[in-house]
Amino acid sequence: MPELRKDPIIGRWVIISTERGMRPTDFTMMEEKKKGGFCPFCPGNEGATPPEILCYRENSTKPNTPGWSLRVVANKFPALRVEGELNREGEGVYDRMNGIGAHEVIIESPYHSDTLSTISVKNFEDLLWAFRDRMIDLRKDARLKYVLIFKNQGESAGASLEHTHSQLIALPIVPKRVTEELEGAKAYYSYKERCIFCDIIRQETKQGSRVISENQDFIVIAPFAPRSPFETWILPKRHSCAFDDGQKHEFENLARIFSDTLKRLDKVLSTPPYNFILHTAPFSNGCGDSYHWHFEIVPKLVKIAGFEWGSGFYINPTPPEESARFMREVKL
């Protein structure tokens, strides 16, 4: 059973994932993995994954068989397990609990060569609905407090399989990084009685130098203080704290602008590895007026080294105004 252990100094929780137990030799640096070979995510190999939790497929096809356009399955090597009780306990100054949660994989396309920048806008919209459907379902579990949805694109960004997929991890606690963002937004709201993200949207729209694109419902910007070159945020123009409250026309426009943004990144940076993370409100939190859900896309272009680990500072060699200009002006 995985464990959650709390750092008693800064309050950060760590997952000790016994399901992924590794020996010292497992950490030896290896050459880049060869591409090709057997892929458990390709059609016809459904038996190589756990049974599907959610699937969008042709009406005449049976579960766990080909004929699907998107599948959600449990991660075969989960960081957390859904079965069991939390069993919180103390050990002197330390706190721990069982690693209860959910770890799921969203297989975004049946085609092995697809990426999120090449699938159709309709398929991209289906992916967003899958995120929403799984979040709504996991809300029903009283043990769970937060769902983190993320994508690792490319081996250097953490992807272990090249077939395009994203992941979902539902947690019994709200992560420290999320809590810090929530508290920062709440402090701003307490002082000004306005949402900090709404104010950012207004200011960036007025200035224009860091705006990459926008449509009726969303704006894409290079943030003022990016941690990495070409870090990019996608924010809804309508204030909302929870992604799963999105409306149909919003998901349609989000799919269009998200797809366009990834195409721009591919064009400017020659198909870079990247991570994206959905920032959304916890399941039960009174942050409706102060918080604003959004996506953050972080290309994997620089290495995080000793200074960053020791200080929490990030060194970014590319001003956001410049990266926004490159992204804005690229010819698709």
**Structure confidence by residue, pLDDT tens digits, 140-187:** 999 999 999 999 999 999 998 999 999 999 999 999 999 999 999 999
Where residue 325 sits, what CATH number does that domain have? 3.30.428.10
Q: Which of 190, 187, 195, 166 is nearest to 276 (CA)?
A: 166
Query: CA 322 → CA 43, 79, 210, distances in Å?
Result: 42, 38, 8
- Within this chain, do residues 51 and 168 fall inside the same structural domain, yes or no? yes
- Within this chain, do residues 160 and 186 fall inside the same structural domain, yes or no? no
- Within this chain, do residues 110 and 15 fall inside the same structural domain, yes or no? yes
User: pLDDT tens digit string along 43-87?
Assistant: 999 999 999 999 999 888 999 999 999 999 999 989 999 998 999
SS3 180: helix
- Within this chain, do residues 82 and 194 fall inside the same structural domain, yes or no? no
Report the relative pairing of strands 94-98 and 89-91 from DSSP bridges. antiparallel
User: pLDDT tens digit string along 89-143?
Assistant: 999 999 999 999 999 999 999 999 999 999 999 999 999 999 999 999 999 999 9
Stronger pLDDT, 12 or 278, i.e. the higher one? 278
- Within this chain, do residues 145 and 209 fall inside the same structural domain, yes or no? no
Q: Cβ of 33: how many Cβ atoms within 10 Å?
A: 12
Judge whether 295 lies within some domain: yes
Query: How far, in Å, CA of 235 to CA of 238, rounded?
Result: 9
Query: How far, in Å, CA of 178 to CA of 180, rounded?
Result: 5
Last residue of some domain: 176, 203, 228? 176
* Parent domain of 94: 3-19+39-176
* Active site members: 165
Q: Quick one: pLDDT band at residue 30, thresholds 50, 70, 90?
A: very low
- Within this chain, do residues 90 and 232 fall inside the same structural domain, yes or no? no
Judge whether 118 lies within some domain: yes
Last residue of some domain: 176, 211, 233? 176
HEC string of 16-43 equals: ECHHHCCCHHHHCCCCCCCCCCCCCCCC
Is the CB of residue 283 less than 8 Å from the CB of residue 145?
yes
Question: Per the structure, how many domains does the chain have?
Answer: 2
Judge whether 168 lies within some domain: yes
What letter would DSSP give residue 311?
Answer: H
Residue given tokens 């690792």 in the structure block: 152
- Within this chain, do residues 166 and 300 fall inside the same structural domain, yes or no? no
What letter would DSSP give residue 90?
Answer: E
Judge whether 25 lies within some domain: no
3-state helix, strand, coil in the chain (%, to 5): 30, 25, 45
Q: What is the CA radius of gyration of the chain?
A: 20
- Within this chain, do residues 51 and 78 fall inside the same structural domain, yes or no? yes
Angle at 156 (CA atoms; ends 150, 161), nearest 5 degrees: 65
